[in-house]
Amino acid sequence: MIACRGPTLEVVVEVPRGSFLKRGSNGHVDFVSPLPCPFNYGAVPSHIGLEGDLLDALVLGPRLPAGHRLAVPSWGAIVLTDRGLVDHKLVCSDRRPSDAQMRFVLRFFHFYAACKAALNLCRGQRGRNACDGWCSAHFAVDSATPRDDHWQGPRVEF
């Protein structure tokens, strides 16, 4: 795996590293995880992802507080499919992630996709759930839509 530097983007942390609560862009709790989140997880407030919510981003490194904003380089993106909707996850860090970090991120999202499939089944939500590997950060950002003043939240419930 080769991580190529993508654009530097503003990311807002929604789920600090080590947290058990997964919150969405609306601030509501999406679910309580049995395992702590291994990354700072948040979103790029300037872009809407293909599933209609803010473009997701994870920030490697030490725990950051919820609500923290930072400008950070992106190095690639995980292609996650959730209920049949593509949901890119930008991987961001101040420095190039190591190969071991990249393998860990990929393993985590394979596990996450399986867990999300089980959660969606319990919720009665249909559609394919899978981790489809890596794409470039540029591709994920170019696939997203710049956010405008008309966006009022995701089109689908999470």
Question: Structure pTM?
Answer: 0.91
- What was the pLDDT predicted at 158? 53
> 3 in a domain, yes or no?
no
Report yes or no on 59 lying in a domain.
yes
Lowest mean pLDDT among 2-6, 23-27, 76-80: 23-27
Q: State the pLDDT at residue 1.
A: 56
Residue 105 domain-assigned (yes or no): yes
* CA 84 to each of CA 7, 111, 129: distance values in angstroms, whole numbers, following the listed order: 27, 17, 6
Tens digit of pLDDT for each residue in 30-89?
777 778 999 999 999 999 999 999 999 999 999 999 999 999 999 999 999 999 899 999
| pLDDT score recorded for residue 88 | 97
Structural domain range at position 71: 8-146
Output phi, psi for 78, to 5 deg: -90, 135
- State residue 2's pLDDT score: 60
CATH number at residue 37: 3.90.80.10
Residue 57 lies in a domain: yes
- Within-domain flag for 157: no
Token readout for 49 is: 């992802």
Number of domains in the chain: 1
In a domain, 1, yes or no: no
Residue 88: which H helix or E strand, with range? strand 85-92
**Once rounded to an integer, what is the mean pLDDT over residues 91-113?**
96
Share of the chain above pLDDT 70, in %: 94
Distance CA 151, CA 26 (A): 12
Identify whether 114 is part of a domain.
Answer: yes
Tell whether 117 is covered by a domain. yes
Output 73 or 115, whichever has higher pLDDT: 73
